[in-house]
Protein backbone atom coordinates (compact mmCIF):
# COMPACT_ATOMS: atom_id res chain seq x y z
CA UNK A 1 0.00 0.00 0.00
CA UNK A 2 1.54 3.36 -1.00
CA UNK A 3 2.27 5.33 2.15
CA UNK A 4 0.95 8.70 0.93
CA UNK A 5 -2.01 7.56 -1.13
CA UNK A 6 -4.64 10.28 -1.66
CA UNK A 7 -2.47 12.98 -0.12
CA UNK A 8 -1.45 16.27 -1.74
CA UNK A 9 2.09 17.62 -1.44
CA UNK A 10 3.69 20.94 -2.38
CA UNK A 11 7.47 20.88 -2.91
CA UNK A 12 9.56 24.01 -3.49
CA UNK A 13 12.68 23.93 -5.64
CA UNK A 14 11.42 20.67 -7.10
CA UNK A 15 12.79 21.19 -10.61
CA UNK A 16 16.06 19.46 -9.87
CA UNK A 17 18.29 18.01 -7.15
CA UNK A 18 16.91 17.00 -3.77
CA UNK A 19 13.57 18.75 -4.30
CA UNK A 20 12.97 16.85 -7.52
CA UNK A 21 13.81 13.56 -5.79
CA UNK A 22 11.35 14.41 -3.01
CA UNK A 23 8.61 15.18 -5.55
CA UNK A 24 9.25 11.89 -7.36
CA UNK A 25 9.33 9.93 -4.11
CA UNK A 26 6.11 11.49 -2.77
CA UNK A 27 4.43 10.71 -6.10
CA UNK A 28 5.69 7.12 -6.12
CA UNK A 29 4.06 6.73 -2.68
CA UNK A 30 0.75 7.86 -4.14
CA UNK A 31 0.73 11.60 -3.43
CA UNK A 32 -0.37 14.25 -5.92
CA UNK A 33 2.48 16.76 -6.12
CA UNK A 34 2.62 20.50 -6.71
CA UNK A 35 6.07 21.04 -8.22
CA UNK A 36 7.17 24.61 -7.52
CA UNK A 37 10.32 26.04 -9.06
CA UNK A 38 11.41 29.38 -10.42
CA UNK A 39 12.64 27.46 -13.48
CA UNK A 40 9.56 26.60 -15.54
CA UNK A 41 11.36 24.12 -17.78
CA UNK A 42 12.70 21.98 -14.95
CA UNK A 43 9.41 22.16 -13.00
CA UNK A 44 7.59 20.86 -16.06
CA UNK A 45 10.22 18.17 -16.57
CA UNK A 46 9.66 16.91 -13.01
CA UNK A 47 5.92 16.81 -13.67
CA UNK A 48 6.64 14.89 -16.89
CA UNK A 49 8.69 12.31 -14.96
CA UNK A 50 5.88 11.83 -12.44
CA UNK A 51 3.27 11.47 -15.18
CA UNK A 52 5.48 8.96 -17.01
CA UNK A 53 5.20 6.80 -13.90
CA UNK A 54 1.41 7.18 -13.86
CA UNK A 55 1.45 9.78 -11.08
CA UNK A 56 -0.30 13.15 -10.90
CA UNK A 57 1.51 16.48 -10.58
CA UNK A 58 1.20 20.14 -11.49
CA UNK A 59 4.00 22.58 -12.24
CA UNK A 60 4.06 26.01 -10.59
CA UNK A 61 6.64 28.34 -12.04
CA UNK A 62 6.93 30.74 -9.10
CA UNK A 63 9.45 32.67 -7.05
CA UNK A 64 8.94 31.19 -3.58
CA UNK A 65 10.30 34.30 -1.91
CA UNK A 66 7.13 36.10 -3.02
CA UNK A 67 4.29 35.56 -0.56
CA UNK A 68 1.58 36.19 -3.15
CA UNK A 69 3.08 33.67 -5.58
CA UNK A 70 3.24 30.97 -2.93
CA UNK A 71 -0.27 31.55 -1.60
CA UNK A 72 -1.72 31.65 -5.11
CA UNK A 73 0.03 28.44 -6.18
CA UNK A 74 -1.11 26.51 -3.13
CA UNK A 75 -4.65 27.91 -3.53
CA UNK A 76 -4.67 26.58 -7.10
CA UNK A 77 -3.36 23.18 -6.07
CA UNK A 78 -5.98 22.84 -3.35
CA UNK A 79 -8.76 24.17 -5.61
CA UNK A 80 -8.00 21.35 -8.03
CA UNK A 81 -7.30 18.48 -5.64
CA UNK A 82 -9.23 19.45 -2.54
CA UNK A 83 -6.63 19.18 0.19
CA UNK A 84 -3.07 19.88 1.34
CA UNK A 85 -1.15 17.37 3.45
CA UNK A 86 2.58 17.88 2.91
CA UNK A 87 4.78 20.91 2.31
CA UNK A 88 8.48 20.43 1.63
CA UNK A 89 10.58 23.60 1.78
CA UNK A 90 13.61 22.91 -0.30
CA UNK A 91 14.35 25.86 -2.62
CA UNK A 92 17.67 27.57 -2.11
CA UNK A 93 20.05 30.03 -3.67
CA UNK A 94 23.62 29.00 -2.84
CA UNK A 95 26.62 31.36 -2.87
CA UNK A 96 30.01 30.87 -1.26
CA UNK A 97 31.85 34.13 -0.67
CA UNK A 98 34.03 35.64 2.04
CA UNK A 99 32.19 38.19 4.17
CA UNK A 100 34.44 40.93 2.82
CA UNK A 101 32.99 40.41 -0.66
CA UNK A 102 29.38 39.56 -0.02
CA UNK A 103 26.92 42.02 -1.53
CA UNK A 104 23.70 43.29 -0.04
CA UNK A 105 21.58 41.98 -2.90
CA UNK A 106 23.16 38.52 -2.54
CA UNK A 107 22.36 38.33 1.18
CA UNK A 108 18.83 39.62 0.58
CA UNK A 109 18.19 37.09 -2.17
CA UNK A 110 19.58 34.15 -0.23
CA UNK A 111 17.50 35.00 2.84
CA UNK A 112 14.37 35.62 0.78
CA UNK A 113 14.54 32.26 -1.01
CA UNK A 114 16.07 30.09 1.71
CA UNK A 115 14.27 31.46 4.75
CA UNK A 116 11.42 33.89 4.10
CA UNK A 117 9.73 31.46 1.71
CA UNK A 118 9.15 29.09 4.65
CA UNK A 119 6.92 31.70 6.31
CA UNK A 120 4.78 31.88 3.18
CA UNK A 121 4.37 28.12 2.79
CA UNK A 122 3.66 27.90 6.54
CA UNK A 123 0.84 30.42 6.09
CA UNK A 124 -0.48 28.39 3.16
CA UNK A 125 -0.32 25.25 5.33
CA UNK A 126 -2.32 26.97 8.08
CA UNK A 127 -4.96 28.03 5.58
CA UNK A 128 -5.31 24.70 3.82
CA UNK A 129 -4.29 21.83 6.08
CA UNK A 130 -7.27 20.10 7.60
CA UNK A 131 -7.83 20.92 11.28
CA UNK A 132 -8.58 17.27 12.11
CA UNK A 133 -6.15 15.41 9.84
CA UNK A 134 -3.42 18.01 10.23
CA UNK A 135 -0.41 17.80 7.95
CA UNK A 136 3.36 17.83 7.69
CA UNK A 137 5.95 20.49 6.91
CA UNK A 138 9.44 19.28 6.03
CA UNK A 139 12.21 21.84 5.92
CA UNK A 140 15.65 21.32 4.48
CA UNK A 141 18.50 22.35 6.74
CA UNK A 142 22.21 21.53 6.58
CA UNK A 143 25.15 20.52 8.77
CA UNK A 144 26.32 24.08 8.02
CA UNK A 145 23.67 25.20 10.54
CA UNK A 146 25.86 23.82 13.32
CA UNK A 147 29.37 23.73 11.91
CA UNK A 148 31.73 26.54 11.07
CA UNK A 149 32.16 26.55 7.28
CA UNK A 150 34.54 29.00 5.60
CA UNK A 151 33.09 31.38 2.95
CA UNK A 152 29.66 30.10 3.83
CA UNK A 153 28.45 32.55 6.44
CA UNK A 154 25.21 33.56 4.74
CA UNK A 155 24.28 29.96 3.94
CA UNK A 156 25.18 28.77 7.46
CA UNK A 157 23.19 31.58 9.05
CA UNK A 158 20.16 30.81 6.89
CA UNK A 159 20.32 27.11 7.69
CA UNK A 160 20.76 27.89 11.40
CA UNK A 161 17.59 29.95 11.11
CA UNK A 162 15.82 27.14 9.23
CA UNK A 163 16.62 24.70 12.07
CA UNK A 164 15.45 27.20 14.65
CA UNK A 165 12.31 28.02 12.69
CA UNK A 166 11.58 24.29 12.39
CA UNK A 167 11.49 23.96 16.19
CA UNK A 168 9.40 27.10 16.76
CA UNK A 169 6.90 26.25 14.01
CA UNK A 170 6.54 22.74 15.43
CA UNK A 171 5.50 24.21 18.77
CA UNK A 172 3.23 26.88 17.30
CA UNK A 173 1.52 24.45 14.90
CA UNK A 174 1.26 21.47 17.26
CA UNK A 175 -2.29 22.28 18.28
CA UNK A 176 -3.22 22.35 14.57
CA UNK A 177 -1.81 18.80 14.26
CA UNK A 178 0.76 20.06 11.80
CA UNK A 179 4.07 18.32 12.37
CA UNK A 180 7.17 20.31 11.45
CA UNK A 181 10.50 18.56 10.94
CA UNK A 182 13.67 19.06 8.95
CA UNK A 183 15.91 16.82 6.94
CA UNK A 184 19.60 17.58 7.28
CA UNK A 185 21.47 16.16 4.30
CA UNK A 186 25.21 15.53 4.31
CA UNK A 187 27.06 16.18 1.08
CA UNK A 188 24.90 15.38 -1.93
CA UNK A 189 26.59 16.23 -5.24
CA UNK A 190 23.58 17.81 -6.94
CA UNK A 191 24.16 20.14 -9.91
CA UNK A 192 23.42 23.14 -7.69
CA UNK A 193 25.77 22.13 -4.89
CA UNK A 194 28.52 21.09 -7.30
CA UNK A 195 28.35 24.43 -9.09
CA UNK A 196 28.60 26.26 -5.75
CA UNK A 197 31.75 24.23 -5.06
CA UNK A 198 33.20 25.01 -8.52
CA UNK A 199 32.72 21.35 -9.53
CA UNK A 200 35.73 20.57 -7.34
CA UNK A 201 36.05 16.76 -7.53
CA UNK A 202 38.90 16.75 -4.99
CA UNK A 203 36.65 18.45 -2.44
CA UNK A 204 33.95 15.81 -2.95
CA UNK A 205 36.51 13.01 -2.65
CA UNK A 206 37.83 14.53 0.59
CA UNK A 207 34.29 14.73 1.96
CA UNK A 208 33.64 11.13 0.96
CA UNK A 209 36.75 10.03 2.81
CA UNK A 210 35.68 11.93 5.93
CA UNK A 211 32.25 10.30 5.92
CA UNK A 212 32.12 7.31 8.29
CA UNK A 213 29.84 5.36 5.93
CA UNK A 214 32.39 5.88 3.13
CA UNK A 215 30.18 7.46 0.49
CA UNK A 216 28.43 10.69 -0.34
CA UNK A 217 24.66 11.09 -0.09
CA UNK A 218 22.24 10.67 -2.95
CA UNK A 219 19.10 12.65 -3.61
CA UNK A 220 17.17 9.40 -3.08
CA UNK A 221 18.65 9.03 0.44
CA UNK A 222 17.17 12.39 1.39
CA UNK A 223 13.86 11.80 -0.38
CA UNK A 224 13.40 8.48 1.44
CA UNK A 225 13.80 10.27 4.78
CA UNK A 226 11.29 12.92 3.68
CA UNK A 227 8.77 10.21 2.78
CA UNK A 228 9.25 8.67 6.22
CA UNK A 229 8.73 12.04 7.96
CA UNK A 230 5.61 12.63 5.85
CA UNK A 231 4.18 9.19 6.55
CA UNK A 232 1.95 7.94 9.33
CA UNK A 233 4.96 6.03 10.70
CA UNK A 234 6.27 9.42 11.89
CA UNK A 235 2.96 10.56 13.37
CA UNK A 236 4.50 11.38 16.80
CA UNK A 237 7.61 13.05 15.39
CA UNK A 238 7.73 16.83 15.36
CA UNK A 239 10.50 19.41 15.87
CA UNK A 240 13.06 16.81 14.77
CA UNK A 241 16.15 17.55 12.71
CA UNK A 242 16.89 14.26 10.98
CA UNK A 243 20.49 13.92 9.82
CA UNK A 244 20.96 11.90 6.65
CA UNK A 245 24.70 12.35 6.40
CA UNK A 246 26.53 9.04 6.74
CA UNK A 247 27.68 10.19 10.19
CA UNK A 248 29.86 13.03 8.94
CA UNK A 249 28.37 15.83 11.03
CA UNK A 250 29.30 14.31 14.38
CA UNK A 251 32.62 12.86 13.22
CA UNK A 252 35.29 14.48 15.33
CA UNK A 253 38.17 13.12 13.29
CA UNK A 254 40.81 10.61 14.32
Query: Which residues make up the interface to ligand NAD (CB under 6 A)?
Result: 12-13, 15-19, 36-39, 42, 63-65, 90-93, 113, 140, 142, 185, 187-188, 190-193
> Which C-beta is closer to ligand NAD: that of 15 or that of 55?
15
* CA dist., res. 187 & res. 203, Å (int): 10
> Mind spelling out the 3-state secondary structure of 96-131?
CCCHHHCCHHHHHHHHHHHHHHHHHHHHHHHHHCEC
Smallest gap from Cβ 149 to ligand NAD, in A, equals: 11
> Which C-beta is closer to ligand NAD: that of 202 or that of 254?
202
> Which one is catalytic: 73, 155, 180, 219?
155
* CA dist., res. 8 & res. 36, Å (int): 13
The span from the first CA to the last CA of the chain, in angstroms, equals: 45
> Residue 155 catalytic?
yes
> Which C-beta is closer to ligand NAD: that of 7 or that of 140?
140
Smallest gap from Cβ 121 to ligand NAD, in A, equals: 11
What residues does 87 pair with on adjacent strands?
10, 137
Smallest gap from Cβ 245 to ligand NAD, in A, equals: 8
> Which C-beta is closer to ligand NAD: that of 105 or that of 132?
105
What residues does 178 pair with on adjacent strands?
135
> Which C-beta is closer to ligand NAD: that of 64 or that of 170?
64
Smallest gap from Cβ 31 to ligand NAD, in A, equals: 19
Write the CB contacts of 59 (distance below 8 Å, at least 6 apart in sequence). 35, 37, 40, 43, 44, 46, 47
Q: Is 162 helix (H, G, I), strand (E, B) or coil?
A: helix
Q: In terms of DSSP H, where are the helices of the chain?
A: 17-28, 40-52, 67-81, 104-111, 117-128, 153-173, 191-196, 201-210, 219-230
Smallest gap from Cβ 101 to ligand NAD, in A, equals: 21
Catalytic residues: 155
Amino acid sequence: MPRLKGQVAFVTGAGRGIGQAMALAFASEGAIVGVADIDKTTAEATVGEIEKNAGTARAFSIDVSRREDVLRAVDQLVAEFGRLDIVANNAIVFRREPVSEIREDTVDRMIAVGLKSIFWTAQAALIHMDTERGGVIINNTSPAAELGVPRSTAYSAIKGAVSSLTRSLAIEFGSRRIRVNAVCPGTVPTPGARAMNNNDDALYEARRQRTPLGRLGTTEDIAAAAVFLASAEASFITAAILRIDGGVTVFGGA
